[in-house]
Every structure is written in C-alpha cells, then in structure tokens.
Amino acid sequence: MAESWVNSAERIGSDLLLELTGPGSRRAVLIRALRDAVREGRLTPGTRLPPYRSLAADLGLARNTVADAYAELVAEGWLTARQGSGTQVAHRAAPAAPARVPKKAPARPDAPEHDLRQGRPDAGSFPRTAWLAASRRALNAAPNDAFGPGDPQGRTELRRALAGYLSRARGVRCSPERIVICSGFAHALRLLFGGGVLRGPLAVESYGLGFHRSILTAAGVRTVPLALDEHGARTGELTGLPGVRGVLLTPAHQFPTGGPLHPRRRTAVIDWARTGGGVVLEDDYDGEFRYDREPVGALQGLDPDRVVHLGSVSKSLSPAVRLGWMVLPGHLVGPVLAAKGEREAWASVLDQLTLAEFIESGHYDRHIRRMRQRYRRRRDQLAAALAAHAPHIAPTGVAAGLHAVLRLPPGTERSTVKAAAWQGLGLDPLSGFRHPAATMPSEDGLVVGYATPSDHAYGAALEALCRALPPPGA
C-alpha cells in the first residue's frame, strides 16, 4: 500500500504523512501508522484527529476500517474519544528516550567582558523600525516574478538603487548592468578566484585580513605582499613584481593601519593596470565613515574598465544582512555570472528588495549620517581617554572608519595583549594582520574597534584598555 497524506489542516492543525506500508490488513497497517505517528511526536498529545469518515475518504479506505482502527487505539490508550470532542491523541506519558552521550563540541573562546575587536559595527543601532517598514513596502510592490528563482545578477531594483547611490556617494561610474549582487566581500573573492574568473599571483597590502588571504590560498592563488607607509600601499613597486597582474587594495581607508591611498599612488596603480593589462580590486569596506577629512572617492572612478569595486553593508548596516556587490568591468560580468550559476543561491531576494527600498526612500543615507556622528563620538571618547590616562600612546588612522591603531613601544605588543585579556578585554594585535611574507619592518601595536560596545559599557571598556597599556618608557 502506498504512502498517503491526511490533508486535514483545519481539523488537526497540520498535514500528517501516514506511511501505510508493510504486511497485514489495511486496518492493521493503519493502526501501526497511527501508533508510529504518536511515538515519533508527529501527533502530539491533545491533537484532534479527523472524523473517521473524513480520514477514510482521504486515505481511500473503508469507513469501518478507520472506525475499527480508532476503536482499538482508544482501547489501548493511544487515543481518547468523548462525545462532542471527537477523537484526540491521549495525554499519556511518552516513553523516555534512550540517553545519548553528547558529542564533544569544539571548544569556543568565551566572549570577552569588554569587546574592542575590529570589524564589528554597533549591533544595537540597526534601524529595525525603518528596515521593517522598507520590507513591507518592498513586499507590497514586488512583482510576482520576485518570488520565483533568483537572478544570479541580483534584482534589478537593487542594482538600479546601488548604481545611483554609489555614483552619488562614492564616485563610482557604473550602470546596473555592471553590478552583480553577492553575499559579501568573501563571497566576491570566492567567485572571482575560486570561479576561475581571475588568476594569481595577486599583490596584496602587507597588512590586511588573514581571512581574505586564506580564501585566496584555498583558491590556489599566491599572494605577494606590497609594502605600506604613511601614504598607503607603495603601488609604484608593482612594476617590480614579475607575473603579478592583479592587486587588492583598500584605497579609501587602508585596513588596518588607516589613511587613504595618496593621489599619486592612485594614479600609479591605474597606469600600471592599463600598461600591463592588470586588474585592481578595490575593497571599499567602510568608505562612508569619515570624520576629519574630505570624502575620498572610489578608485574605480578613475578607470571603470580596470577596477573591480567591491562593497557590502556589513559595516554600514550589519553583517547579518548578507548583501554585497561587485561593480565589474564589462568584460567580467559574463564570466562572474557563469561562475555564480543559473540561480541565486546566496543573497536573499527579499533582502535585496528591502535594501533597494531602504536606499531609494533615503533611509540608508539618514542611517549613515546618524552612525557617522555616533562613531565619531566614540572615536573622540577613545582619544580623550588616552590623552588623560596614556598620553604617551596616540591613536592613529582615526580620520575615518570604525577602529584605531595604537602604536606601542617595541617589544610590548604580546605583554599588552596578555594584560588586556586579564582585564577581560578583547582586542586585536597589529601583528595578527601582517602578511607572513612581508619584508617591511614590523611594528608593535593594537587594533582597537570602538563601534561594538553599548554606550553604557563603552566607558568601562576604555578604562580597561588604559589599564592594560604599557607605562611610559616601557
């Protein structure tokens, strides 16, 4: 006998799959199937079953067969039957499940009492009300095709909204046709290199996220460190790196050391790409947040055919909103879409529609302005605390972004990080971002994120930081 469904949502609260298989009469098979449904928790105590006539019609059985099955299960205590209440699953003690030995989970470090790690925006400032309103408007206006298989290039509504926003706010030169939506910067790297669109070796800045380098390594890409100084990456040295035809930069705000790429070096990297047929990957991870300087436009604006502009909302909104974008040279759009596949598998179409509405309605700009003021106050609090309690240590790279770099006396980084841990303080050592093959002189320092703690906890976090810092002359 084949599997059958009880399609009685209005009567029992949900559909129930009954497997009417195995030896025996139809009555015996039905009784066994109902017992199994109770044992497995698919029919919970108090669940009302359909009248036997309805169940018989659903399963294609004789009414007497179902009535007899109900009667036997009532007699056994599996079901109860009362006049006016119908037939229900009995409230009986379920047999105890056999004890299971839990598998040992990998140890995870405890969250620090004070979190000053980089890369984490203020989660409490997510614009919940405005986002919910944008979601409702977007869903009401969405065409029917939005609820079918997703377009791997991304929804037209979002690509159109991003083209306008990036042009206006970041100086990006693009049309919606050159934008491909992804789930974030890491996803973009996997598509570009893991998908075979671009190949290594790839020049990268001597200080950057090790996570990004590991993605490239997993894709078989060798990374070559490019030295840094106070003017950013030394892009003039690209001509001396044989075989390198691509470079990954953070030109608006070098990560993590801070500061924009010098105008002459911006020009130099574009000239290098044009002359040698190279490509520049621009990680615009926090370009909206600047405080004491004029806005620095996107490098892509100098040559849209040589620069891949990569961005996301992980800093501006939340890393929980898994949306990013690639603004591509025209000849790379097709290969990226081929690498991505025929259907969108990463970026939620509903979130895309919501973000498009959030941008078009002006809420995104208002949120950025509000957070810019909030983060500037946080940065100023950090600077004031250092000036009062550790004047020998000055924060650097603080004209923009969500973190500061504290330069430490030589040989004190490890002990300072250990002292911070004793204070319950989570932060990142500068050395943790250094490329393993970098040849430029190393410096001791801390990368301090000032966006994460709540307002009421931020003062205590700064006090813990100042207690952990080495004294003058250390």
Q: Does residue 136 sit in helix, strand or coil? A: helix
Residue range(s) of every CATH 3.40.640.10 domain in the chain: 128-361
Q: pLDDT band for 10, please (50, 70, 90 cuts).
A: very low
Region 95-120: what's the mean pLDDT? 64
Q: pLDDT band for 1, please (50, 70, 90 cuts).
A: very low
The span from the CA of 228 to the CA of 210, in Å, is: 16
pLDDT at residue 376 above 80? Answer: yes
Highest-pLDDT range among 14-18, 51-55, 152-156, 291-295: 152-156
Region 434-457: what's the mean pLDDT? 92
Q: pLDDT band for 83, please (50, 70, 90 cuts).
A: confident
**pLDDT computed for residue 108 by the predictor:** 46
Residue % of the chain over a pLDDT of 90: 64
Of the listed ranges 1-15, 48-62, 67-81, the one predicted with least confidence = 1-15
**pLDDT computed for residue 7 by the predictor:** 45
End-to-end CA gap in the chain:
82
**pLDDT computed for residue 9 by the predictor:** 37
Q: pLDDT band for 330, please (50, 70, 90 cuts).
A: very high
CATH number for 128-361: choose from 1.10.3720.10, 2.60.40.420, 3.40.140.80, 3.40.640.10: 3.40.640.10
Residue range(s) of every CATH 1.10.10.10 domain in the chain: 4-89
Chain centroid, CA 326 distance in Å: 15
pLDDT at residue 71 above 90? Answer: no
pLDDT at residue 96 above 80? Answer: no
The span from the CA of 383 to the CA of 381, in Å, is: 5
Residue % of the chain over a pLDDT of 70: 92
pLDDT at residue 94 above 70? Answer: no
pLDDT at residue 102 above 70? Answer: no
Q: What is the mean pLDDT of the chain?
A: 88
Closest CA to 223 of 234, 212, 232, 231: 212
**pLDDT computed for residue 13 by the predictor:** 39
Of the two residues 100 and 258, the one the predictor is more confident about is 258
**pLDDT computed for residue 16 by the predictor:** 62
Which CATH number describes the domain made up of 4-89? Answer: 1.10.10.10
Residue range(s) of every CATH 3.90.1150.10 domain in the chain: 366-468
Of the listed ranges 5-19, 225-239, 429-443, the one predicted with least confidence = 5-19
Q: pLDDT band for 313, please (50, 70, 90 cuts).
A: very high
Could you tell me the pTM of the whole model?
Answer: 0.79
Q: pLDDT per residue over 139-150, tens digit each?
A: 999 999 999 988
DSSP conformation class of 302:
G
Nearest 5 degrees, angle CA 453-CA 457-CA 461? 80
Chain centroid, CA 272 distance in Å: 33
Topology annotation, domain 366-468: Aspartate Aminotransferase, domain 1 (3.90.1150)
Name the E strands within 284-402: 307-312, 324-327, 395-396
Task: Identify the sign of the CA torsion 373, 377, 378, 383.
Answer: positive
Q: What b/e string do you get for 422-455 counting C-beta neighbours within 10 Å, with b at 16 or more?
A: ebbbbbbbbbebbbeebeeeeebbbbbbbbbbee
pLDDT at residue 451 above 80? Answer: yes
Region 294-307: what's the mean pLDDT? 92
**Which two structure tokens, joined as six digits, stand for 7?**
């399609």
Q: pLDDT per residue over 352-370, tens digit each?
A: 999 999 999 999 999 999 9
The span from the CA of 447 to the CA of 428, in Å, is: 5
Of the two residues 435 and 81, the one the predictor is more confident about is 435
Region 10-39: what's the mean pLDDT? 75
